[in-house]
Every structure is written in C-alpha cells, then in structure tokens.
Amino acid sequence: MLPTDLIVDTCIIGGGAADAYAAHRLQQHNHTFAIIEPNSGLGGHTVTYRDPLSHNQPVDYGVTWLQDLPVVRDLFAHYQVPLVAQKIDYRVEMFDFTPGRPIQPRSADDATAALNRYRKLLAEYPYLGTGFEDLPDPVPDELVVPFKQYMDKHHLGGLLDVFSSWLTGLGEWPYYPTLYVMKYLGRDYLDGRTRVGWVRPASHDASELFRVMEKGLGSGVVLLNTRVVRVESRSWNAGRVVVDVATTAPRSTNTTRRRIQAKALLFTAPPLPSNLAVLGLDAHEHSLFRQFADPWFYTALIRVQGLPADAFLENHDPDHPFHRPRLPAVLAFRPTDIANIARVTVASTTRGLTDDEVRDCIRAGVDAVRRRLGGNVSDPKILAVRDHSPYTLTVSGEAVAKGFYRQLTALQGHRRTYYAGATWDTHHAPQVWMLTDQVLQRHVLPVLEGRR
C-alpha cells in the first residue's frame, strides 16, 4: 500500500450539487468517502463572482435561487447558512434580438387557464416526482411524444410565452420527449413560481454553502484539483474498487498521485462517454451512455450601463412556432444585485463555442438591446464567463419508448458503480438532492451496511 492510499466506503467522482449532498448524507450515516473534483472548489454549476468595484460583493452567475423545500431548509440549517426569501418579480421583455421585433404577449387569462390544465395533467404522473426509476414499463406514449405534440393535444397553447421563458435554458424543449419538460416543470417548480417562492443564502452568495460543506465534511476527504487517472477492479468479485487519481494544484507543476480503495463508486459527473472513459465501460454501459445528446450552455457577467434594472430581456424568434431564438446567441440578460452588472446566458444547439465566440455572442446581444432600447446602452465589459456544458442530457423519444430509463436504472450497482446527478432527474438543485438521497437509500446504503 502506498502512503497516499485512502480506504473509504464510497469514492464519489464529481464535486457538484449531487456529489456534495451525497457526501453529506453518507457522513450522516457514519460512512467514509472521498470526493474527486477537477475544479478548485465544490459546487459545479454554482459559481460566484466578487466585484472589486463594489467591496467584493458576491454575484452569482450559476445557481442562484432554490425552491423553498424541506430538503433545502434542512441542508442549509445543518451547515448554519441562513436563508432569505427571494421573489422573482422581474418584468420579462421578449423580442427577436436579430431585427429587434417584439413578441406580442398572449393574454394572461389564457395562460392561467392553461397552467391550471397543465397542473392537473402533471398530477396524472406521480412517478415523475423523483428520478426515472419509478417510470412505468412501457412508458406512457404521452410522455414519449415531443412536447409540442403534447401541448397541442391538451390545448396548452396559452402557456407558450410562459413556457418559452421558463424553459429558455433547457434546449430544444418543444422537440424533447414530454417526459423531460414535465420533469423540469414539475410540481415543486410550479409552486416555486406561482405560490411558495424561492430562497437563497442571506449572503446572496450561493457558493457559501459549498465552502462551508467542504470544511464540515469531516468523515471524508475532498480532493480538489484532482482528476481520475484510471479505475480498476470494478467488479463484485474484487474486494474493493480501485481509483487512481492525480492532484495538481493551480499554477503548480507538482502532481500528487493517490490510490483510493472503496466498497462503492458513485459517479455524479455528467455521464458522457468522454467523462466515463476512465471507468473502462463495458459494451452495454457504452451503448446506453453514448445515446445522450446535449446542448451547450454558457453564463457570463458583464458590466454595462443602460440595461433596465427591473427586467429580464429575452431573445425569442416570433417566426418560430415556439419562439425559440436562432442559436448560437444570447438567450437572456437579467439584472443582478449590483447596478450595472448584468448576467447573460448564451446557448448553442449544434456545437460547442470557443470563449471568443461566447464573447462575440454577448457583444452582438448588447448591440441588439441597444438597437431596441436606444443609444444609452454602453459597450459591455465582460467580467466572467463560465461554460456549463454539457447541460441537460436527453435521449430520443424512441429510446425512451424502448426502455432506455429501465436499462439505465438497472446500471445502479452494476460493477460496484452507482450514479446520481441532474441527468438522473432534472436540472434543479433540490430535485438533484432528493434524487441523490433516493439512490443512496435504495442502492448504496444497503450495500455499505451489509443489508444486500
């Protein structure tokens, strides 16, 4: 054994929302763990900029608001990070960023009636609550058809404005199997939007939770700036799975190598074949994971004068039947807590963008806003850019109908490996946390505790 060897109950690959929560729950159940994260902090899509011109005030440009649910309250209370209620009551202004044409808003009555209809429809699929594991087999046809077809069938056209705004970051949602839209726009999310509201840390710094967790996760090891080199003995015949990792601190040329031995491997990074290659996938695993398609998604912060402080400015194409903008382009500008700093989202559906291309999209977006609002919008200073790709991994309706999620779920425990993360539920942190707990309770803890 090397002096740097670690022997733990669970090795967790990834250090984002699912990963940190898994470690927290394993610690509560008195199990040891090691987290392997390539970045220099936990949090994944949670990213926070500190503005030197505003006394280092934090500005989130990833995860910002959370649904006000027990899983959120309990986690923040445990780590003594106070929460405050947050209303999202900005005006939304939709227009086509290319020629500047506005979208004619639909009547609010139509939207309310359609939203009530949508809520009733959602209640017909209680198994969509957490994960994909409880989906019936076969999956009902209605959940497999493209969401645009589902909208037509159930006369949900009144929701076009609302959904095209709420789903703006999700990708080509009208063409996704209905399942994905209903997972994203689930009951808790709708309640957050319409009834219960949202919470965020009182510090308005979403990364605070992960910094505190990093210190509080005492029954395990958090290895930052660390990549997995190889995984061996991923078999129930072997005593433990073996994970070789290499840690290189930023701006350092020294690399520390460690060998981790664990009873279970929990993979929570996006399950793309490129990320999973170190696991040595078998043919069946590869045949499932290679089916995922992903849109590219970026966020940025810009310092700019002249954008409205009370409005989201959204890019939509009035000629597209679902008002999807022409991409790659800016999806939206939204105000932040600091006057003259705006948050920008940029998306592409066909290819990844270089950093320069993201910056070009942002400048083109600001030009579009200037054309629409008049000449008082300044040139932007781009303060930070973050690549959140891959975001929202989906498969075709045909694959869902053929039992993709039944087969994917059957991978839980296959070759000592378990999975969690947004791909296994949807892209909201509270849902990811509930899913992670489900995976631990149903699959990982029984093995660690000798109950299976």
Ligand X SMILES: Cc1cc2nc3c(=O)[nH]c(=O)nc-3n(C[C@H](O)[C@H](O)[C@H](O)COP(=O)(O)OP(=O)(O)OC[C@H]3O[C@@H](n4cnc5c(N)ncnc54)[C@H](O)[C@@H]3O)c2cc1C
Q: Which residue is nearest to ligand X (CB)?
A: 16
Does 422 sit near ligand X (CB under 6 A)?
Answer: yes
CB of 15 to ligand X, least distance (A): 4
By 3-state DSSP, what share of the chain in percent is helix, strand and coil, each rounded to 5?
Answer: 35, 25, 40
Grouping H, G, I as helix, E, B as strand and the rest as coil, residue 49 is: strand
Q: How far is the CB of 293 from ligand X (least distance, A)?
A: 17
Among 432, 434, 440, 445, binds ligand X (CB under 6 A): 432
Asked if 59 touches ligand X (CB under 6 A), the answer is no
Cα distances from 154 to residues 186, 334, 340, 407, 441, in angstroms, run 17, 32, 42, 30, 37
DSSP state of 338: S
Given the complex with ligand X, which of 368 and 385 has the nearer CB atom?
385
Q: Which of 8, 10, 11, 15 binds ligand X (CB under 6 A)?
A: 15
Check binding of 421 to ligand X (CB under 6 A).
Answer: yes
Among 92, 162, 269, 346, binds ligand X (CB under 6 A): 269
Report the DSSP beta bridge partners of residue 84.
200
* Alpha helices (H) in 65-199, listed in sequence order: 70-78, 108-122, 141-144, 147-153, 160-166, 178-184, 187-191
Number of residues engaging ligand X in binding (CB under 6 A): 34
Binding test (CB under 6 A) with ligand X, winner from 24, 25, 204, 428: 428
Q: How far is the CB of 435 from ligand X (least distance, A)?
A: 9
Question: β-pairing, 329-335 with 341-348?
Answer: antiparallel
* Beta-strand relationship, 66-67 and 329-335: unpaired
246 versus 401: smaller Cβ distance to ligand X: 246
Using CB under 6 A, which of 24, 25, 31, 45 touches ligand X? 45
Interface with ligand X (CB under 6 A), residue from 166, 292, 391, 405: 391
Site for ligand X contains 344 (CB under 6 A): no
Question: Taking the CB of residue 9, how many other CB atoms lie within 10 A of it?
Answer: 22
Nearer to ligand X, 16 or 380 (CB): 16
Question: Which residue from 168, 247, 261, 299 is in contact with ligand X, where contact means CB under 6 A?
Answer: 299
Give min distance, CB of 431 to ligand X, in A.
7
Structure tokens at 428: 């909201």
Closer residue to ligand X in complex, CB, 66/162: 66
Residue in 6, 12, 14, 159 binding ligand X, rule: CB under 6 A:
14
148 binds ligand X (CB under 6 A): no
Cβ proximity of 45 and 16 under 8 Å: yes
Cα separation of 61 and 57, whole Å? 13
Long-range contacts of 78-83 (CB under 8 A, 24+ apart): 78/24, 79/209, 79/212, 79/213, 79/216, 80/212, 81/201, 81/203, 81/208, 81/209, 81/212, 82/201, 82/202, 82/203, 83/199, 83/200, 83/201, 83/202
Instruction: Between 46 and 340, name the residue whose CB sits nearer to ligand X.
Output: 46
H or E, element range at 214: helix 208-216
Candidate list 139, 347, 429, 448; residue touching ligand X; CB under 6 A: 429
Give the nearest distance from C-beta 433 to ligand X in angstroms: 9
Single residue of 34, 66, 103, 408 touching ligand X by CB under 6 A: 66
CB of 267 to ligand X, least distance (A): 8
DSSP designation for 380: P
**Angular region, 197: left φ>0, alpha ψ -120 to 50, beta rest:** left
183: left (phi over 0), alpha (psi -120 to 50) or beta: alpha
- DSSP state letter for 351: S
Of 64, 247, 261, 417, the residue at the interface with ligand X (CB under 6 A) is 64
65 binds ligand X (CB under 6 A): yes
What track of x and - describes contact with ligand X for positions 74 through 113 (by CB under 6 A)?
Answer: ----------------------------------------
Question: Quick one: CA torsion of 347, 353, 359, 365, rounded to 10 degrees?
Answer: -30
Q: Is 24 in the site for ligand X (CB under 6 A)?
A: no
Closer residue to ligand X (CB): 265 or 422? 422
Instruction: Indicate the helix (H) or strand (E) that contains 94.
Output: strand 91-95
Position 63 contacts ligand X (CB under 6 A): yes
CB of 276 to ligand X, least distance (A): 8
Where does residue 422 rank: exposed (0-12), middle (13-18), buried (19+ CB within 10 A)? buried
Minimum distance, C-beta of residue 179 to ligand X, in the bound complex (Å): 17
Interacting residues toward ligand X by CB under 6 A: 13-19, 36-39, 44-45, 62-66, 228, 268-270, 275, 297, 299, 388, 391, 421-422, 427-430, 432
